Amino acid sequence: MTQHFIVIGNPIAHSKSPEIHTLFATQTGIDIRYQRQYCPDDEASFIAVIEAFFRGGGVGANVTVPFKQVAYDCCLARGGLSEHAKVTGAVNTLLLNKTLLDNGASVAEAVYGDNTDGQGLVNHITSLSWPLDGAHVALIGAGGAARGVIMPLIESGIATLTIANRTLNKATDLVNELSNASPIINEQQIKTCRTAELSGQFDLIINATSIGLSDATLPLSAALNCQYAYDMMYGRTLPFLQHFAARGAQISDGYGMLIGQAALSFEHWTGHTIDVAQATKILNKS
């Protein structure tokens, strides 16, 4: 029987999720239909779309901009949240909580949320053989994407994390909030600064800003260096990566993170493990 999945967003036409999940389905021999779902940018429409999808027999949904926080609120009031979704305050993966359904909850009451973005990043970095255990890491940005990767990075065993942001108080507020939300996030392990003031030698620097969407460039100090540079953006030339490649760093864009988070969603929904390395090779060629 065909299993139905959607990715909900606004805009949504650009999403690569259908081709990624269709490849996973071929890899695992599952019959799926995975579609892009446009939704008007308001909470009531989002909830109406989700409830109609699951009532109609849908198995799982991905959530993208601008609905990740709305999805969090929706699951908090219904079927619950994974630990990563709770700490992140955002949801990118929806499914039905089977325990609640077995106990008599309606489909609408059983919508459950997870967040696989951060673990997708950590899995991609690990697959590149970039060491995280004991690493000194700088994360530039304090928006939704940065928020999602902090807990998985700490869990991966990094030694220190420096969060740099254009607006300093957003970075300090984020650290306060996350350290209150999770005992594994220790304020002593995390420093904050303004992006232009970030300097020194790091093992890994991750760009989690949205600057790659514009023609602007980050104000990077001449005294800032790293062995590995990662930009969460993908699909275009990224000056951040060019800057560190010219200084001898190994670099990667965020396409592998996108595939990594998708693989984790697919595994939650279907119970099938994805060969991410093989999928990445095929998707990179397409």
Catalytic residue ranges: 68
Backbone CA torsion sign across 53, 55, 61, 63: positive
> Which of 47, 59, 132, 258 lies at the binding interface for ligand NDP (CB under 6 A)?
258
Burial letters for 126-154: b for 16+ Cβ neighbours within 10 Å, e otherwise? eeeebbbeebbbbbbbbebbbbbbbbbbb
Residues present in the chain in total: 286
Strand order in the sheet with 160-165: 190-194, 160-165, 136-140, 200-207, 224-231, 250-252
- Of 162-221, which residues contact ligand NDP (CB under 6 A)? 165-167, 170, 195, 208-213, 216, 218
Interface with ligand NDP includes 142 (CB under 6 A)? yes
Interface with ligand NDP includes 6 (CB under 6 A)? no
Q: How far from chain centre, in Å, is Cα 6?
A: 17
Which residue's CB is nearer to ligand NDP, number 110 or number 208?
208
Other residues' Cβ atoms within 10 Å of the Cβ of residue 237: 9
Interface with ligand NDP includes 257 (CB under 6 A)? yes
- Of 46-65, which residues contact ligand NDP (CB under 6 A)? none
Q: CB 51 → ligand NDP: shortest distance, Å?
A: 25
> Which of 18, 80, 131, 143 lies at the binding interface for ligand NDP (CB under 6 A)?
143
Binding residues (CB under 6 A) for ligand NDP: these are 117, 141-146, 165-167, 170, 195, 208-213, 216, 218, 232-234, 254, 257-258, 261
